[in-house]
Amino acid sequence: MTPFGTRLAAAIEDRGRFCVGIDPHAALLHEWGLDDDVASLERFALTVVEAVAPVVGAVKPQSAFYERFGSRGIAVLERVVAESRAAGALVLMDAKRGDIGSTSQAYADAYLDPSSPLGSDAVTVSPYLGFGSLEPMVEAARRHGGGLFVLALTSNKEGPEVQHARNGEATVAGTMLAHLRAANAGAEPVGSFGAVVGATIGSTDEDLDINGPLLVPGYGAQGGTAADLERIFGAAARWALPSSSRDVLRAGPDRTALRDAARRGNDAVRGLGA
């Protein structure tokens, strides 16, 4: 299959780099005048898909907001994946999975195998059992043309106690970025193995040019701006994917308003890294 990095580069060129998070928070359901139940989850999520998936390059459903409803919520997530991809958007499953051995392989099968009902274009993963623990997912991504987004420099206040810790001369985050740089070596136009780097980290001395994509949560309602992205990422911003959910989702339930909000988000970051 065509590598994820190649497909992502085409999506950015065709539709832009803005990624819409499809995160059905209970508070957002209530803002839409909906109850906090499965029927409302389905109405919310599929309305967003119908509105934005035809016009953005990528969507990012957060698995936890579907899992909390059990099997019926997962069934809705399966439809989000299928209908978003049918509309031409790449699906970045925000699951942050990470384990070892056969369990890691099972996660790879769930999220990266096209035959799985949850099979997505890419999945977020945690490397903090050691980068080598991700090997089954790396191999599955290579085999199926999928991608990974590995937690590297997150915006949450607890992150630095792990990510800024040092292993010799390098920080833990720097070690993860180096692994990703190696995984993407020689890939053109860009590799399939990306990092998650928060838009509100302030600044970093780490080399973010990994020849791979950078998924950037925290943009928009959480405080990150286009100017922040230019400052933090520099030349690496050419492969940055700013992700926002609330700035777009609060425009619902009107589909036209949702689509317009997604387009405004895309326009605001179109020239990053140029």
Among candidate residues 15, 25, 79, 96, the one labeled active-site is 96
DSSP bridge pairs for 93: 123
> SS3 of 102, please?
helix
- Distance CA(245)–CA(61), nearest Å, equals 9
Alpha-carbon gap, residue 17 to 194, rounded angstroms = 14
For 227, residues 6+ apart whose C-beta sits below 8 A from its C-beta are none
157: annotated active-site residue: no
Q: For the chain, first and last CA: distance in Å?
A: 29
Q: Are 58 and 241 in contact (CB under 8 A)?
A: yes
Q: What is the Cα–Cα distance from 60 to 92, expressed in whole angstroms?
A: 5
**Alpha carbons 124 and 115: distance in angstroms, whole number:** 19
Residue 59 CA to residue 81 CA, distance in Å, equals: 9
Residues tagged active-site:
96
